[in-house]
Amino acid sequence: MSTENLSNTDAINKLKDLATSIDFAMMVTNLSNKPLDAIPMSTKKVDEVGNIWFLSGADSDHNANIAKDADMQLLYAKPSDMQFLSVFGKAFVTRDKVILEELYSTTDDSWFDGVEDPNLTAIKFTPSQAQYWDTKNNKFVSLLKMGYAAVTGDKVDVGETGSLNL
């Protein structure tokens, strides 16, 4: 794998591309205690400055954890495409109606009683550090390249990794 550290707009674009294409992240809260609390969450939006947005229940454990300690880790993985993203930052819970209306869709009706549900909140996650792993090709091509390297002893570039300086 080649290393490509990205900054500014390039870092935000890479973050947005991976977070939205992978969609589900393991949201890890309660970082100072063990065991950690982790829950799968669907990414609703990555905004123009790189904040990642989620919808959440006000009565959830992760909202309670965020109220105690805003530090949070997001772990994205899409093994079928060999894409991975680890993001650390701070979380903030909001009930801003404009944000809730923007993020809410009918698929959220499985968890909430519409955008007016008093339990509905949004989580704004502001990244401070991120690391990514991304293949340049799909999994099949990457496996072929690794097989070629194993047989020939040649090094092949199967993708890239790096830090996102946000």
User: What pLDDT, in 10s, does the model give residues 32-77?
Assistant: 999 999 999 999 999 999 999 999 999 999 999 999 999 999 999 9
Q: Is the pLDDT of residue 138 over 60?
A: no
- How far is it, in rounded angstroms, from Cα 156 to Cα 166? 29
Q: How confident is the model at residue 12 (pLDDT cuts 50, 70, 90)?
A: very high
**Smallest Cα–Cα separation from 27: which of 43, 15, 19, 38?**
38
**Smallest Cα–Cα separation from 164: which of 121, 118, 133, 137?**
133
pTM over 0.75: yes
Q: How far is CA 73 from the centre of its chain?
A: 9
Of the candidate ranges 94-98, 122-126, 148-152, the one whose mean pLDDT is the lowest: 148-152
Q: How confident is the model at residue 149 (pLDDT cuts 50, 70, 90)?
A: very low
The pLDDT value recorded for residue 82 is 86
